[in-house]
């Protein structure tokens, strides 16, 4: 596996593709991230990529892997990213 792209590399690529300056591309990425954080509670969709959703997890019983003792895991809210079908098909290839 190769190394993941850095924010700077993504901004540079976006600047080349759109004709923006690198600084403007970085600002656009920052604005997109800020909007995603703000709207995640209402579900934030990036078409063709996926969506951020808030999910309520129920309380459950887990086990300490070292001792095997049962422990109570409390209920909590978590943020999940659900990958769009178009992204899955583009990355993994279509199912037959």
Domain ranges in the chain are 1-39, 43-96
Q: Which CATH architecture has domain 43-96?
A: Irregular (4.10)
| Alpha-carbon span 57 to 76, nearest angstrom | 5
**Beta carbons of 35 and 57 less than 8 angstroms apart:** no
pLDDT score for 96: 63
How confident is the prediction along the chain (96 residues), in pLDDT tens digits per residue? Answer: 789 999 999 999 999 999 999 999 999 999 999 999 999 888 999 999 999 999 999 999 999 999 999 999 999 999 999 999 999 999 998 776
Name beta bridge partners: 80.
53
pTM, entire model: 0.76
Neighbours of 67 (CB within 10 A): 8
pLDDT score for 92: 92
**Beta carbons of 33 and 60 less than 8 angstroms apart:** no
């Amino acid at each position: 596996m190769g190394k993941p792209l850095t924010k700077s590399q993504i901004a540079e690529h976006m600047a080349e593709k759109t004709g923006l300056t690198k600084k403007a591309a970085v600002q656009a990425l920052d604005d997109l991230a800020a909007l995603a954080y703000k709207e995640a509670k209402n579900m934030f969709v990036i078409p063709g990529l996926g969506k951020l959703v808030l999910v309520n997890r129920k309380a459950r019983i887990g086990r300490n892997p070292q001792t095997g003792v049962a422990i109570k895991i409390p209920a909590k809210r978590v943020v999940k990213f659900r990958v769009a079908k178009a992204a899955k098909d583009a990355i993994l290839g279509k199912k037959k």
